[in-house]
Amino acid sequence: MGTLQGELMYLNNLVVNTTYPGAQQAGTSRSSMSLPRPKSSGLLGSEGSCYESLCEQQPIGRRLFRQFLLDSNSQYAAAAKLLEDFDYWQHMEDEAKEKAKMSVLAKFCQPESRTFLFSHAGDAAEKYTSLSISNFDEAAMEHVREATRTFLKGGPFSEYLKSPFFYRFLQWKEYEKQKITRKYFYEFRTLGRGGFGEVCAVQVKHTGQMYACKKLDKRRLKTKGGERLALIEKQILEKANSRFVINLAYAYEDRTHLCLVIDLMSGGDLKFHIYDLGKRGIRMERVVYYVAQITSGILHLHSMDIVYRDMKPENVLLDAKGQCRLSDFGLAVELPKGKKICQKAGTTGYMAPEILRQENYGMSVDWWSVGCSIYEMVAARLPFKDFKEKVQNEEVTRRTLEDDCKFQHSDFDAPVKDLISHFLKKKVQNRLGCRGDDPRNHVFFKGINFHRLEAGLAEPPWVPKPNVIYAKDMDAFRTASEVEDVKLDSKDERFFKEFSTGAVPVRWQKEMIESGTFDLLNSSDFNGTLPPHLRT
């Protein structure tokens, strides 16, 4: 819980006139809860029967399916343990990885595991009769993993759907659907201010989980035509499921605001780290780490056909551990597969030549902005605009289209120069990331193991100090200007309803597990049987 500690200290500095609720309080309200009964009469209601979603992607589903397997028979239990070992193996390296492999092999050699492999490996089964450490390579590992999953998707999965474990899952799903109001959270002071309202720190009362809450003023949204944009931002945050993109936990409304409850990032944004902390720029070890995480985040967005369009250090936020995430999706758009868009959007100094020339563009523009951002992290200025330079946008456009990028700062080393030059190719077809290539393979990243990074196992090179606030003086946050008296009508109300969908399943389930609420509730009143009306 080191992170929570850090966040609390951060808030203690911030919170002047709000008392901090003790853990005690969170504990008492928790133990008096019990899970609701699912609304649908049968077991298979609205949840559908997709194995991937029910048993792999949803954290509580995954837990309960595993409990079911361990509880059933030795063969199912062997499959569950094998899958766990595979996950572990994937994220290890060197000696630990070799050890994990031996463990898989040892488990796999048990007769229970062999049975399902041989019934599902098809032609390849022969090959595995003589498996030993020496010929148990990555491909063999993958094959065994797939065969294990295929086995689980069959009989075990259909048995699970009829079991008390799945009934329990449906109870959790019912609980997940509860209406969220502002009473669900304790609210703390402002962390920052955006175009439609403030962002403040909040804590879920019954789990103790800390989040940031981005509040959007309903009337201001309406006057500034921001309703559609707010919905796009919400939908993108909701879809993204990456360690390197801000995640949405809840979306709800109160009388005056629409609220997005998102990951709390207490380490400040990268712009602040570049310009406002002593020596300008960020040292190379940190640049490599952040750019690796940014690259993974951008690849995740692109894999969902989302162009970010606002990549810049200001929008990259650090959490209490020193890991970063992309935030602020007000300009992002989802493009239909392979489609391009022609619309000027972005921030001066970071916009790609194809946007400035008003051509059709796609994902390429984000890689250009990544190039500009790396340059800025090193040199504390942009490639085509000096820090705080008073210059017309037209001149920045001209330089972007015509000038070469110069590397005068002494901190540019060969790999970073090469990386930036490849991101700043003016022609899209020459640009890194746009040629069917993967930027993660560039030598700049040779010290990064992306598997471990994705799994959150790569130690950050720098950890924010818990007692420092990484943001400009709080005085800089003025109170919101009054909004003219606008009337909200039924059309607005419909839109607010569409926005306010409550808890986001994957994130909410993670919160239940990480806060201990899942274990607490599951052990307290789970007797492993179905309620009478469902017994056959």
Catalytic positions, written as ranges: 310
Tell me how far, at minimum, the Cβ of 16 lies from ligand ADP, in Å: 18
Contact between 194 and ligand ADP by CB under 6 A: the answer reads yes
Nearest partner of 169 among 35, 33, 57, 77, judged by Cα? 35
Q: Which of 262, 307, 316, 365 binds ligand ADP (CB under 6 A)?
A: 262
Of 164, 146, 153, the C-alpha closest to 72 is 164
For 71-128, what is the HEC assignment? HHCHHHHHHHHHHHHHHHHHHCCHHHHHHHHHHHHHHHCCHHHHHHHHHHCHHHHHHH
270 contacts 314 by C-beta, under 8 angstroms: yes
CB nearer to Mg ion: pick between 23 and 480: 480
Q: Which of 204, 265, 378, 379 binds ligand ADP (CB under 6 A)?
A: 265
Contact 309, 332 (CB under 8 A): yes
**Partner from Mg ion, ligand ADP, none binding residue 264, C-beta < 5-8 Å depending on class:** ligand ADP
Residue with tokens 């990951």: 263
**Contact status: 313 vs Mg ion (CB under 5 A):** no
Does the annotation flag 214 for ligand binding?
A: yes
65 touches 53 (CB < 8 A): no
Calpha distance 320→5 (Å, rounded): 9
Segment interacting with ligand ADP (CB under 6 A) among 61-69, 140-148, 323-331, 337-345: 323-331
- Residue with token string 């806060």: 515
Q: Residue 85 or 328: which CB sits closer to Mg ion?
A: 328
Q: Which of 330, 349, 353, 383 binds Mg ion (CB under 5 A)?
A: 330
Residue 521, number of CB atoms within 10 A of its CB = 20
With DSSP H G I counted as helix, E B as strand and the rest as coil, what are the percentages for the chain, rounded to 5? 50, 10, 40
What sign does the dihedral 440-444-446-447 (CA atoms) show? negative
State both tokens at 212: 């940031």
Exactly one of 269, 328, 454, 511 binds Mg ion (CB under 5 A); that residue is 328
When binding is defined by CB under 6 A, the residue of 82, 100, 191, 301 that contacts ligand ADP is 191
Q: Can residue 229 be called a binding residue for ligand ADP (CB under 6 A)?
A: no
Long-range contacts of the stretch 409-415 (C-beta < 8 A, 24+): 409/281, 409/378, 409/379, 411/281, 411/284, 411/378, 411/379, 412/378, 412/379, 413/284, 415/442, 415/443, 415/444, 415/446
Q: Which of 339, 366, 335 is nearest to 352 (CA)?
A: 366
Contact by Cβ (8 Å): 209, 203: yes
User: Is the distance from CB of 215 to CB of 192 less than 8 angstroms?
Assistant: no
* Contact call for residue 317 and ligand ADP (CB under 6 A): yes
For residue 195, state whether it binds ligand ADP (rule: CB under 6 A): yes
Residue 320: CB minimum distance to ligand ADP, A: 10
Q: Dump the DSSP string for 313-346.
A: GGGEEE-TTS-EEE---TT-EEPPTT--B----S
370 binds, among ligand ADP, Mg ion, none (CB under 5 to 8 A by kind): none
Asked if 214 touches ligand ADP (CB under 6 A), the answer is: yes
Binding window for Mg ion (CB under 5 A); candidates: 17-25, 125-133, 146-154, 329-337: 329-337
Q: Which is nearer to Mg ion, 88 or 275 (CB)?
A: 275
d(CA 54, CA 308): 30
92 binds ligand ADP (CB under 6 A): no
Report the C-alpha gap between 40 and 26 in whole angstroms. Answer: 31
The interface partner of residue 55, options being ligand ADP, Mg ion, none and the CB cut-off 5 to 8 Å by kind, is none
Chosen residue from 212, 259, 419, 521 binding ligand ADP by CB under 6 A: 212
Nearer to Mg ion, 328 or 366 (CB): 328
Position 155 contacts ligand ADP (CB under 6 A): no
238 binds ligand ADP (CB under 6 A): no
Nearer residue to Mg ion within complex by CB, 191 or 405: 191
Contact region with Mg ion (CB under 5 A), list: 39-47, 330-338, 442-450, 516-524: 330-338
199 binds ligand ADP (CB under 6 A): yes
For ligand ADP, which residue of 6, 164, 192, 439 counts as binding (CB under 6 A)?
192
Q: Is 263 in the site for ligand ADP (CB under 6 A)?
A: yes
* Rounded Cα distance, 316 and 373, in Å: 10
Contact positions with ligand ADP (CB under 6 A) in 324-353: 327-328, 330
Name the helix (H) or strand (E) containing 192.
Answer: strand 185-194
Residue 265 CB, shortest distance to ligand ADP, in Å, is 4
Binding site for ligand ADP (CB under 6 A): 191-196, 199, 212, 214, 246, 262-265, 317, 327-328, 330, 471
Binding site for Mg ion (CB under 5 A): 328, 330
Binding region for ATP: 214
Binding region: 214
